[in-house]
Amino acid sequence: MHHPSASPHSDPNADAPATLLPPQTEARFSAMQYESMGKRVYTRICSALMEGQLRPGDRLRIRELAAELGTSITPVRDGVLRLVQDGALTMRSARDIRVAEVTLPEYLEIRDIRLELEGMAAARAAEVATAEDIARMEALIEQNEQALAAGDVLAAISLNQHFHFEYCRIANMPVLLSILERLWLKMGPLIAQCYTAGGRDMIDGHYSLLAAMRNRDSQAARVAVQTDILSGGQVILELKKRSAKAADSADTAQAAAPAAKQARASM
């Protein structure tokens, strides 16, 4: 039987039965959903680390995190493994995952990097900040003071982190900010551990930066941030020195133990 050819304007599939999406298309869509969930979980844990909601040595349980975040175990496990690769978490075993402890050499290296990069960002921010930008910075300091006065240490720690990131955003240096975010995965818990002991040193330097930004003084802004990092970090430095000394003493005692045991046995 002769079938007439379709006209150029007709739809050759007009009478075709409806079909489901090909399996590979469905699979790709599901993968995109999963990846989005995994990214959100990773970002949320990163925020908790940077904002000081966790302390060095804190133990994380995947099932508990999944329940808190309202998701399944798989994206949480993947986010945790990614943070282990980032060096923000340590995995002693599948059931023992903890916030990383920063050693003295690590802290000194991170501090030196922050001095350069945050100093650079502050200098740029002072050059380009608008009145609205400065008002946001001023509001963060005021909110931080209110949190300190109310004894809300968690809020004060979070506001401190937001203050440091805000002048980096004002500087409009996204690559620099992404580098700092990775550093703050380790610094957030450490600052939280020492924030109360740091007292006014943790916030007083913010006023100097604000004044430099109002005056569009880039060099003063750089010095203000660097001074803030050094003065606020003094309590952290002392803690890390004590920890390093205690670790050295423990290593010395452990090394001496076999010799002492052998000496007693020979008596």
Q: DSSP per residue over 174-221, as a string?
A: HHHHHHHHHHHHHHHHHHHHHHHHHGGGGTHHHHHHHHHHHTT-HHHH
210 Cβ partners below 8 Å, 6+ apart? 134, 137, 138, 141
Strand partners, 60: 97
One-letter amino acid for residue 111 of the chain: R
Residues of the chain with pLDDT under 50: 2-10, 12-22, 25, 27, 29, 32
| Segments of 63-216 assigned E as strands | 89-93, 96-99
pLDDT at 249: 77
pLDDT at 21: 45
**Token representation of residue 91:** 């995995």
258 C-beta neighbours (distance < 10 Å), count: 9
Dist CA 256 CA 249 (whole Å): 11
Which residue in 112, 114, 234 sits closest to 168, CA to CA?
A: 114
pLDDT at 12: 46
Cα-Cα-Cα-Cα dihedral sign, residues 160, 165, 169, 170: positive
7 C-beta neighbours (distance < 10 Å), count: 7
